[in-house]
Copies of this chain bind each other. A is one copy, B any other.
Amino acid sequence: MDSVLKAWGRLTNRSPVLAFVDWCLRGIGQVMFQDNPLTGAIFLAAIAWGSIAAGAPAVLIGGVVAVVAATLAALWLRVDGAALRSGLFGYNAVLVGLALPTFLPAGRLLWLYVLLGAVVSVVATRATAEAGKPFAVAALTFPFVLVTWLMLLASHGFSAVSAPLAVEPAVLPIAESNPLDAIAFLGAVLKSISQVFLKASFVAAILFVIGLAVNSVAAALFAVAGAIVAVAFAHLFGAESELVTGGLFGFSPVLTAVALGTVFYRPSGRVALYALVGTLFTVVAQAATNAALAPIGIPSLTAPFVLTTWLFLLPRQSFETGKG
């Protein structure tokens, strides 16, 4: 693995085009915090599989177009070079590019919409980083959530990009919870991982776990553990079974588990317990945002992850030093 990455590093040093590809791949990897082009490439394969298997190639195209457009826009905006080379201006754009064609009907203007969203995601990434500085918190996927929420909400008012039979804004119905057998449980866990990239696919899920593991075994373990904890907790509290088995209660908790357990805190038993509480509360936040957003007809995206992780990251300094 290391030798593959070294050979790739030599290639990117010689070719600006390959360097650009490298930044884009790292951008895809950064959706799950991995600054590694191989992880990004495996994630891209998972996205491709998930999109094509679901008969929605526009989703794959949207993701690729968006990360390329965002990286170009970041160059034009003369962003910080190190951040750009680590893919930090790409991961929000990838998600915008996957989300818009997932929720909106295909069409010529959709691509203009994706391009605008990708460019604005770069501005929003810098704005969020700037706003987070006094609090020493990372932007996470807030720029993706903000831009995509606005563009999906706006689609209600733009007939050129609005779905003719879009999901009706409505008050959330009472949850219907059914028993969950071992197979359904495993499916729910895997789909929780693939839903980070808005996919409900077992094959994609396995590719995502492999992609994580090639860069960080700890991240892969926390992703799987986060998914198991989230599915069990959601089911215990009687969450709608269709949402649980579709992975829709688990993708934000997966991100919280990886972020709190392996990225922002030095791993320890105490940190693992802290990450567990954060992961459980992300499930609560998921159910909460589902209910809050139902009347305006937009999905939660990764807002439950962003909200909970910010909450658990803000006290970082005092958590680590035991002061404050």
Contact = CB atoms under 8 A, between A and B. Distances in A.
Interface in A163-183: 168-169, 171-172, 174-177
A239 interface: yes
Nearest to A281: B120
Interface in A98-118: 109, 113, 116
Contacts of A119: 277
A131 interface: yes
A311 to B, nearest CB: 5
Contacts of A150: 281, 284-285, 288
Contacts of A312: 123, 127
A126 to B, nearest CB: 4
A282 to B, nearest CB: 10
Most buried by B among A109, A126, A128, A323: A126
A65 to B, nearest CB: 17
A270 to B, nearest CB: 8
Interface in A281-303: 281, 284-292, 294-297
A314 B127 contact: yes
Nearest to A238: B159
A292 B152 CA distance: 10
A212 to B, nearest CB: 26
Interface stretch (A26-34, A72-80, A192-200, A221-229): A72-80
A201 to B, nearest CB: 24
Interface residues of A, number: 79
A16 interface: no
A264 interface: no
Contacts of A156: 172, 174-175, 287, 290-291
Contacts of A151: 284, 288
A142 to B, nearest CB: 11
A160 B280 CA distance: 16
Q: A155, A158, A237, A312: which has the most chain B beta carbons within 10 Å?
A: A158
Contacts of A219: none
Contacts of A134: 133-135
A77 B319 contact: yes
A126 B288 contact: no
B288 A292 contact: no
A318 interface: yes
A157 B113 CA distance: 32
A184 interface: no
A71 to B, nearest CB: 16
A162 interface: yes
Interface of A: 77-80, 83, 109, 113, 116, 119-120, 123-124, 126-131, 133-135, 149-151, 153-162, 168-169, 171-172, 174-177, 234, 236-240, 243, 274, 277-278, 280-281, 284-292, 294-297, 310-315, 317-319, 322-324
12 contacts: A116-B280, A119-B277, A120-B281, A123-B277, A123-B315, A126-B324, A153-B289, A153-B292, A159-B176, A160-B236, A171-B297, A294-B296
